[in-house]
Amino acid sequence: MQNTKPKNDRLEEVKRNGYQLDFATVFESAFENYKKIALYAGLILLVFSILSAIGMMTALVSYIGVENLEHFANTLKEFSQLKVMPLEVALPLNAGLILYSALITPFMSGFLKMAYCGEKGEEFHVSTMFSYYKSPYFLPIVVSVFIISLVGTGLAMLLEYAGLSFVGTVTTMLVSFLTFLTIPLIVFGNLNVSEAIKSSIIIVSKQPLVLLGLLIVAGIGALLGIFGFCFGIFFTWPFMYSMTYVIYKTIFGIDEVIEIEEITESEN
């Protein structure tokens, strides 16, 4: 298996001197990449979402019991009417969401791998989605997502309980934006957790307006699928991953390829 690795000199050059992104070129490249994976990625996302929903509902019913479903629904309705959720409810709820997000991200990162295969004209299968549930990817991905989610959610909760809900929401979005290249830097750049997070923040801060514009446009394009009987979003959402992949490729290039096996052998 191949891994595109931004060499240290290129990474340091980007950190030191920045880089150039042409909005139109990046968008066009992302759309072309998306067209290569849209149908297959959409089907996988649809099936995965259905199975996840069934799994979560089954787990929920098993945990609270069928006889308590009505009481649980009423409790949720009461909480939804509160401006601030009670801390004893918010803490375990957010902890569960953070853990779920961390464990599911290696699967979702498979869309980046699919985008890479689409770019290279290589075949991709369902097994492609599980490429990052193995060493050396799984642990760094999970830990990085856990740290980022913990920081973002923690700050949002603190600000929310301080009466600054809007600021908390903006802060969470800012954290997500600054760190959105963390996963590509791990799976393609072979960086460790701390290097990937720090590098993502530095790289994004070099061209924040262009990157924000690209992500907003990609997000709008992805959300347009809602108008396709809602199910369309499963086929438009992968555009976000194509955009992320192309942004990474444009910044670091995609031709600097090394074999993972060769890295391992050289280290032994």
Concatenated DSSP letters of 175-208: HHHHTTTHHHHHHTT---HHHHHHHHHHHHHHSH
Residue 118 structure tokens: 């689409």
214-262 pLDDT per residue, tens: 999 999 999 988 876 677 899 999 999 999 999 999 998 765 443 343 3
154-197 pLDDT per residue, tens: 999 999 888 898 999 999 999 999 999 999 999 998 899 999 99
- Gap between the Cα atoms of 211 and 4, Å rounded: 21
Reply yes or no on whether the pLDDT at 149 is more than 70.
yes
19-36 pLDDT per residue, tens: 999 999 999 999 999 999
Residue 232, pLDDT score: 84
Q: What is the pTM of this model?
A: 0.86
